[in-house]
Structure 1
Amino acid sequence: MAALWRSYQSLMTKRPWTVQIVTAGCLVGVGDVISQQLIEHRGWANHSMIRTTKMMGIGFFFVGPVVGGWYKVLDKLVAGGTKTAAMKKMLVDQDYFDALISNYYLWPAVQIGNFYFIPLHHRLAVVQIVAVVWNSYLSWKANKM
């Protein structure tokens, strides 16, 4: 595991934008697999690879570039790594889309910790790791019969 983390860190240093986008796409896909298998209990025979591929596409082409870009903008809007700056970033980050109202129990705490403890180039990965659970829920919610 340590060797895998070192490899990830090395790639992040060489190609941060690409690694963040690939990480986002993969983790959104993992969220859909978890949704189909653990929440919906579809079984592998009924697993929709088309759906997983679509979800990964959302991660690769929307979540990675847009959220990653947003974090860069946010870091310029609210400079610093203090507790106050982390709180300000969290508040600004939460000010969009009505869908976020349902996840206020999770994301404010995650984002305060993310903005306070995590370096900019790792923030997208942290959010995407937490988002695996959230993506599983969203995938289930969006695709429930």
Structure 2
Amino acid sequence: MAALWKAYQRLMARHPWKVQIITAGTLVGAGDVISQQLVERRGFAGHNSQRTLKMMTVGFCFVGGFAPCFLGCFLAVVGTLNGLSMEENWSKIKRDYQDTLITNYYIWPAVQVANFYFIPLNYRLAVVQCVAIVFNAYLSWKTNQL
């Protein structure tokens, strides 16, 4: 495990932008797998691989950076990828945005305060990405509910 961590650190030092994008996409995909398997209890036979690929695409293309407006855009992008009409998508955003934003504010400020005060600089991204797996599972579940 230590060798894997060191390899990750070397790659981060050489290609930080690329590694962050790949990490974000992979973790958004992992969050969807966790959502489908542990939260929704679909089982592997019922797993929607296309949904996981869509979520990973959002992670690769959009999640690489995180900002407060991210959540509204994330809901809109996933709704569009799920084939919702503009009216359905807008209705879903109005229904889900506040809960999603509140959940975001319950999790991320505390994580970031702890991260900046207690975690050495070179481990901060890893801490955020580990918490992101849980948050991504929540986002996958929330955005894929009709």
TM-score (norm 2): 0.70
Distance (Å, rounded) in 1 between the aligned partners of 2:16 and 2:133 = 20
Distance (Å, rounded) in 2 between the aligned partners of 1:118 and 1:67 = 20
Alignment deviations for residues 38-69 of structure 1 (CA, whole Å, 9 cap, x no partner): 100111111111100011111111111x339x
Aligned to 2:50: 50
Query: CA 1:135 to 1:100, structure 2 compared with 1: closer, same or farther past 3 Å?
Result: same
Is the 1:24–1:124 contact (alpha carbons within 8 Å) kept by the matching residues of 2?
no
Alignment of 1:95-134 (within 5 A): 98=98, 99-116=100-117, 117-119=119-121, 123-134=124-135
Q: Percent identity?
A: 63
Q: Does 1:4 align with 2:4?
A: yes
**SS of corresponding position for 1:100:** helix
- Paired residues, number: 115
Distance (Å, rounded) in 2 between the aligned partners of 1:46 and 1:34 = 13
Aligned to 1:60: 60
List alignment gaps of at least 5 residues for structure 2: 68-96
Distance (Å, rounded) in 2 between the aligned partners of 1:13 and 1:40 = 38
Aligned to 1:79: none
Distance (Å, rounded) in 2 between the aligned partners of 1:12 and 1:138 = 26
What's the RMSD between the two structures over aligned residues? Answer: 2.1
43-52 or 106-115, which moves further after superposition?
106-115
Distance (Å, rounded) in 2 between the aligned partners of 1:137 and 1:60 = 18
Q: Structure 2: which amino acid aligns with 1:115?
A: F
Is the 1:32–1:55 contact (alpha carbons within 8 Å) kept by the matching residues of 2?
yes
TM-score (norm 1): 0.70
Alignment deviations for residues 57-102 of structure 1 (CA, whole Å, 9 cap, x no partner): 11111111x339xxxxxxxxxxxxxxxxxxxxxxxxxxxx743222
**SS of corresponding position for 2:66:** helix
